[in-house]
Structure 1
Amino acid sequence: MANMGLSYGQELGACLQQYFVTSIRSSQGPVLANSAEDLLDATRLTPILRQQSDQLGQPDPVVIGTLFAKRYSVFAMGLLAAISLHDTSLALSHDRVRLQVTQAGAMQYETAVEDSPLLSVSNLEERRARLTDYVVRLQMHLQPIFQAVSAQTGANVQVMWTLVSHNLHNLYARLEADERIWQTTERLRLIMADRSVLLEPRSGHAFAVKFRLFEHSQWQGSPFYLRRHCCLAYRIQHPSGEHDYCQTCPKLSTEERLQMLVK
């Protein structure tokens, strides 16, 4: 996720755009259609969910709501990657975050760099304190959005939270496992320290969910965790008639999962 030929800001922007469909807002202002505030207003949320539903063949609303959380977790992953890889905190307030439905129910996102110093790479206690505050604010950003989406679709809010937590667990599993990402032992140390803050069990911490690591003698690829709850993507109708299960789906048997992994 690093390109040494780019400047610091360019590298951050390229990473967010390539891996997390998130852009950093330019001085010319927002370009995406909706703000995160729109998600909190039923009259403005409805057409967003309807657009996703139409793109996915109008499945049961609970499918749309559950998949919304999985899609939105991509933005959350980008926010944490910006911190752990670039020591940069991005704006979380609903009026500064923007989004737009693209295709197949997916979304792209836009935000700005917070007006605050880079997180410390030398003082881990200071870094821990700032990240702890950021995680609290991230949960405060997500909570009313999930409640609003759940109210319209019937999606289970707890399931929505576990889908986000699962993707964050797998994000950090990949960051720690791939030396091409962390490049230096100092950066690996920071990633591991950030992960302990983000995922440590504590009261009111929605991301501190335990997942089972997939292990098998025939799988030598990157480590990953299995979901506790299905994202319901398999309930979307495809022209082929096949069900679209994810590699991390809890509904798959070990044999079915291996078949998908070694394709």
Structure 2
Amino acid sequence: MVNTRAIVTSLDEHELDILQQSYRLATSPSKHRELSINCKDLLDPELAMPFLQKVGAFWETDSMTATVSLFAKRYAYLTIAAGLYAMSRYNKGLDLSLANSSLESYLQGEAWLPKALLVNQETSSPSAGRRDEWRDEIVQQMFAGNLAPVWAALSKMAGVSQAVLWENTAIYVYWLYENQFPDGASKEERQQIEADYRYLVQEAPPHLFAQRSNPLKKFDSPKRTTAVSDTPIRVRKTCCLYYLAADEPDDYCPTCPKLKHG
């Protein structure tokens, strides 16, 4: 059936460069094959667990729950950052389905910096008057079609709550739309960014995330100053378990609910 909601497009050189340099999009496989994986293989414990054990060495923790949570932060970013930026800034949709994506590893010193490589790098753009429907397709593919099954699989493998993994995802959506995407945008582009952000966090129906409720709305809360932060912050509802891999005991993230924010 012909998709009347969208037309086939492609990224121009400038757009591709931005997504590569700022939003973790790769255009060729990494040489570090032992630290790279087809995204669909994250659903298979026999393939995913050895991979997670390898990347867990970067955080020097014996806790698989902490490893999975810290991995989820990186995976969430490389899955949503380029896709949402392309959607909101360029009106172009990337195919971030599991079958079309691989996680490619890059190292910067001792830091592990994964990127997303897409087999099919064509994009789609909305047909006239069909942007809302097109946006739903892009969001559903990214969240319900990719992150939801990966979070469910990793949660089962490592015993980490899916709520932690979804909040790890949500904090990046907030940060990207509030701090990154508006940079250098025109007035019209800012209006589109604000409209997409409002839709994602307040209006998007749960089925786009394959959840009973919208997880981006669930974890949103007003920023406020606290006893441990003079700068307004959005205090998390779940702990990301970073402290289990920190160099110092009880070293929590500034937004951690384990801190006495008051």
Q: TM-score over 0.5 for the alignment? A: yes
Counterpart check, 1:136 vs 2:140: yes
Change (3 A) 1:106 1:128: same
Tell me the TM-score normalised to structure 2 length: 0.76
Kindly state the Cα deviation for residue 49 of structure 1 after the two structures are TM-superposed. Answer: 0.5
Q: Which protein has the bigger strand share?
A: 2
Change (3 A) 1:106 1:242: farther
Distance (whole Å) between structure 1 residues aligned to residue 147 and residue 237 of structure 2: 19
Q: Secondary structure at the match of 1:207?
A: helix
Distance (whole Å) between structure 1 residues aligned to residue 116 and residue 77 of structure 2: 9
Distance (whole Å) between structure 2 residues aligned to residue 91 and residue 40 of structure 1: 19
1:153-207 Cα shifts (integer Å, max 9, x gaps): 111112211220221022112247x5x432x211011111211222224344333
Counterpart check, 1:91 vs 2:98: no
Distance (whole Å) between structure 1 residues aligned to residue 89 and residue 39 of structure 2: 25
Distance (whole Å) between structure 2 residues aligned to residue 15 and residue 245 of structure 1: 32
Residues 72-221 of structure 1 aligned to structure 2 (within 5 Å): 72-75=75-78, 76-101=80-105, 102=107, 104=111, 106-111=113-118, 115-119=122-126, 126-138=130-142, 139-175=144-180, 178=182, 180-182=183-185, 184-201=186-203, 202-204=205-207, 205-216=214-225
Paired residue for 1:229, among 238, 242, 245? Answer: 238
Tell me the TM-score normalised to structure 1 length: 0.76
Distance (whole Å) between structure 2 residues aligned to residue 78 and residue 229 of structure 1: 26
Would you say the 8 A contact 2:94–2:124 is kept in 1? no
Code of the aligned partner of 1:227: R
Residues 13-92 of structure 1 aligned to structure 2 (within 5 Å): 13-23=16-26, 25=27, 30-31=29-30, 33-75=36-78, 76-92=80-96
Distance (whole Å) between structure 1 residues aligned to residue 113 and residue 217 of structure 2: 26
Identity %: 24
Distance (whole Å) between structure 2 residues aligned to residue 112 and residue 187 of structure 1: 28
* Number of aligned positions between the proteins: 234
Distance (whole Å) between structure 2 residues aligned to residue 181 and residue 162 of structure 1: 28
Distance (whole Å) between structure 2 residues aligned to residue 118 and residue 224 of structure 1: 35
Change (3 A) 1:43 1:209: same
RMSD: 2.9
Distance (whole Å) between structure 2 residues aligned to residue 141 and residue 72 of structure 1: 10
Structure 2 unaligned spans of 5+:
1-10, 208-213
Kindly state the Cα deviation for residue 140 of structure 1 after the two structures are TM-superposed. Answer: 1.8
Distance (whole Å) between structure 1 residues aligned to residue 230 and residue 126 of structure 2: 36
